[in-house]
Amino acid sequence: MNATAALRAARLLTALYLGLCVLTLAAAVLLRHHASLVTDAVWTRGAIVTVSAAVTFAAAVRAARGSRPAYRRLRIISAVTLAAVVVLVALPGLFPLWMRLEQSVCGLLLLGVVALVNREPVRSRFAAAR
């Protein structure tokens, strides 16, 4: 897979990630009267992740257009967010089951992004001129 195709795929994965995060916030709004399903942690994590997903998607769009700083941001944000998702999903009792499942899907999407943007053809495309 060449760099252009990898960045296009990363842009798609980040769009799916953002869409899932928006749907999660919508679900929280719909379920807001069920305290066991929508806790304060759900609101906080849902809002933070949605903002992070929007930033990640914006970086993916700009990186696909050739922006080196956006590519660097995409690599860092996707890796750090993936690590945070893994930790949060692994911690027992922090989130309701439905949110842990949603975060697991987000983690899989981010794993794909991390794998794509760290491929050699993509790294070479953004390598600093010497």
pLDDT confidence of residue 130: 46
pLDDT confidence of residue 114: 98
- Using CB atoms within 10 Å of the CB of residue 7, give its burial: 0 to 12 exposed, 13 to 18 middle, 19+ buried: buried
pLDDT confidence of residue 93: 83
The angle, 0 to 180 degrees and rounded to 10, between the axes of the packed helices 97-117 and 68-90 is 150
Mean pLDDT by 10 residues, the chain (130 residues): 93 97 92 86 88 97 95 96 92 86 95 96 80
pLDDT confidence of residue 128: 65
pLDDT confidence of residue 37: 84
Q: Residue 105: how many CB atoms within 10 A of its CB?
A: 14
Q: Could you tell me which of 6, 23, 31, 30 has the C-alpha nearest to residue 103? A: 23
Q: What is the pLDDT of residues 46-72, one digit of tens each?
A: 899 999 999 999 999 999 999 999 999
Domain ranges of the chain: 3-125
pTM (2 decimals)?
Answer: 0.89
pLDDT confidence of residue 97: 87
pLDDT confidence of residue 35: 83
